[in-house]
Amino acid sequence: MELLSLTLAELLAFAVPISAAVVALYFYDRSRRRRVVSTLRFWPRRPVYLMTTRRRRLQQPWSLLLQLLAALLLLLAIADLRFSGASSASLHHVVILETSAWMSAAAGEGQGGTLLDRARDRASAFLDALPADDPVLLIQGDANPMVVQGFTTNRTAFRESLDSLQPSWTAANLADAVELAKSVLRLAAASNGAGGLETSNAVGEIVYIGGGRVSPEVLGRVDTSDLPFLRYIAVGEEVDDVGLTRVSAHREPADPRRWRVVSEVHNHGNRPRPVRLEFEFEQQRLGYKAVMVPAEQAQEVVFHLGTERAGVLSARLAEEDGFAGNNRAALDLPSIRTRVVRFASPREPLWRPLLSATPAVEAVFAASRGAIEPDLEVFDRTAPDSAPGGLFIEPPRAASPIAVSRSVGRTRITQWASHHPIAAGLRTQDLLLPRALVFAPEPGDVVVAETQDGPVVVAREREGRKTVVYGFDPLETRLANRLVTPLLFANTLRWFSPDLFISRQVLAGSPGLVETPVDAEDESEVAVRSAEVSSLPWSLKDGRLRFFMPTPGNVEVTTPFREAGWSLTLPELGTSRWEPPEGTLRGVPPPSAAASGWGFPLWPWFALLAAACWLIDWTCYGRVSPPRSVAGVSGAAGRFNPSILGGPGAAQPSARDYEPAGQVRGAR
């Protein structure tokens, strides 16, 4: 029972003075008052009155009660007294409406709309089942849950917030959504003077409306142990889907001209499904792979493509289902990157085995440049008069870009400049050189390798030109068979062209949180860029890169030895299904007795009862005719009395038989 328009104090503040006024008017209306008459002659003979003592009592007490009751009923009508149910305390409810990518799936045959439309209908039905005075809060359930509508009893505003929700591209983060719901309910409980959720009489239900599809990581973090009331309204459990979750392509290490494409197909249904995955490159059909995907599991499909040019590779599932958003993925494959290296050397047969380990190098053996503009020049036991830079192997002493101090025989490398890229990964100190040239470096030059006799490998970088000199022959039989020789040559090429040995990978995935291993130990070695998001948040920990992409787009990740291009255009669907714990309420509850408002409005009935009380009082105790005492006197005065006319034989009353004017006893 509640007063909507007035508080109890306000009601009493109005009732007390009004009741006092009614009682005062009642006594004033029934008080004795003097009457002044015009003459003594028309008064009848004075009757004989019995001397009695009048009792002090209320005259017409029912009239007073009817008037007080009418005033009280009218005040209750103004205060709008209503009965809101057994308990007058309002309960705070939280609705978690899933807005993941899965909610954009078709609702099913004969139903029309999407799963989100059905979820809105379920939320509206739950709203209709609640008492109108219960505040409700709305949380959108995607990868980043947030409050859309705070606690409100305005059902129209709540439904407008429902209509504003749209499906996202990410999976539902049910764990964070539940924690957010707990936080807002704790604040509501604290505002009502209760400490915990289970002990507060202001905490209602946490309602989750969705399909229950989450990622395995989120599934392990969902905690519903301390929730007093949890309700699960399932939407879209009957929709089956088989879709692509990830497609990756990288060049084969042995043959950079071939791509290895790996597709992951996940079956979200409860029965095995045969699927056919078709591949296209630049809108030309390449072929297909048919596989059987088990229920609630994923299946990898491997496909090989040989091409050197850039183009778009598409993977598409031939079968249509209830969710078409994950049936196709596209990868933008880059062209192969090669570097032209001109060798000024007469020993082409000896260089070929070493160059076969670097497919990205296109070797050109020519004495002069000709029409080809090389990316790098290698001078084997020769040196031009003027060179823009390059790799010099045992250059002539007179033409060496770095001065040669002397020539030695049978020397051993004792130290490597591990901080320099050319010496990266080189630690051996047992490399014996049959003969070597010892250089005299200038200030600014870097000694890469040094023997007990002096520097034998020196690197120089000036005015944008890079120069490296070897003081020994790496093709010498005893050196060519050592692992350090190809590593030294590869590091040298990578120093000249840093992107020469970077592996390239192209992936198609889903927006949201992406985690991938990287070959970097420090954040300075990692670059994360996106054309759609200017400042993309990312972190590096224990060799794993994590970044969050809220919307579909492309992300480029660069590390010292790898480049990865992410095409995040596939909707993210949870691969695990959340099952509510035992005791969880399910479905939309039946409408409560107070769902239509604060009970039945009683103010019209109170007003009618007040009018009825006044009507009864007026009918039974109204002042249509004068009081009996006055009527009796008036009637006596109005009757003809011959004795007062003074005719013959009329008895003349004595003066004492008349009362003085204005002193008639009992007159009102």
pLDDT tens profile 559-605: 888 889 999 989 988 888 899 888 889 999 887 644 444 456 777 88
- The token duo for 621 is 């105790």
Rounded Cα distance, 448 and 446, in Å: 6
- Domain at 92-239+576-586: CATH architecture: 3-Layer(aba) Sandwich (3.40)
Closest to 294 measured CA to CA, from 242, 334, 341:
242
Amino acid at 478: R
Rounded Cα distance, 391 and 520, in Å: 28
Do 376-496 and 499-572 come out as alike in CATH topology?
Answer: no
Whether the Cβ atoms of residue 356 and residue 349 lie closer than 8 Å to each other:
no
Rounded Cα distance, 15 and 79, in Å: 11
Domain 242-337 CATH (choose: 3.40.309.10, 2.60.40.10, 3.40.50.1370, 2.60.120.260): 2.60.40.10
pLDDT higher than threshold 50 for residue 105: yes
- The token duo for 209 is 């409306």
Rounded Cα distance, 527 and 44, in Å: 124
Rounded Cα distance, 632 and 107, in Å: 90
Is 376-496 a domain of CATH 3.40.50.880? yes
- Cα separations (Å) of 310 from 252, 257, 259, 329? 16, 11, 12, 17
pLDDT higher than threshold 60 for residue 624: no
Rounded Cα distance, 62 and 5, in Å: 30
Whether the Cβ atoms of residue 287 and residue 305 lie closer than 8 Å to each other:
no
- The token duo for 618 is 């007026």
Q: Please state the rounded mean pLDDT for residues 246-254.
A: 87
- Cα separations (Å) of 357 from 361, 489, 490, 528? 9, 11, 9, 30
Q: Where are the domains of the chain?
A: 2-83+603-657, 92-239+576-586, 242-337, 376-496, 499-572
| This prediction's pTM | 0.65
Rounded Cα distance, 428 and 434, in Å: 16
pLDDT tens digits for range 51-67: 555 555 666 778 878 88
pLDDT tens digits for range 252-305: 877 778 899 999 999 988 889 999 999 999 989 999 999 999 988 999 999 999
418: burial class by Cβ within 10 Å (0-12, 13-18, 19+)?
Answer: exposed
- Domain at 499-572: CATH architecture: Sandwich (2.60)
Q: Where are the alpha helices (DSSP H) in 317-396?
A: 348-355
Confidence class of residue 174 from pLDDT cuts 50, 70 and 90?
A: very high
Q: Which H or E run includes 178?
A: helix 174-191
Amino acid at 387: A
- Which of the given ranges, 11-25, 443-457, 467-481, has the highest pLDDT on average? 443-457
Q: 388-392: long-range contacts at Cβ-Cβ below 8 A with a sequence spacing of 24 or more?
A: 388/465, 389/465, 389/466, 389/467, 390/467, 390/468, 391/468, 391/469, 391/470, 391/492, 391/496, 392/467, 392/468, 392/469, 392/470
- Cα separations (Å) of 361 from 125, 495, 504? 68, 14, 16
Query: What pLDDT, on a 0 to 100 scale, did the predictor assign at position 664?
Result: 43
Query: What pLDDT, on a 0 to 100 scale, did the predictor assign at position 503?
Result: 81
Rounded Cα distance, 212 and 258, in Å: 41
Whether the Cβ atoms of residue 174 and residue 141 lie closer than 8 Å to each other:
yes
Determine the distance from the C-alpha atom of residue 179 to the mean position of all C-alpha atoms in its chain, rounded to a whole number: 12
pLDDT higher than threshold 80 for residue 442: yes
Token look-up 């590869």 returns 490
Whether the Cβ atoms of residue 466 and residue 422 lie closer than 8 Å to each other:
no
- The token duo for 309 is 């040019």
**What is the three-class DSSP state of 655?**
helix
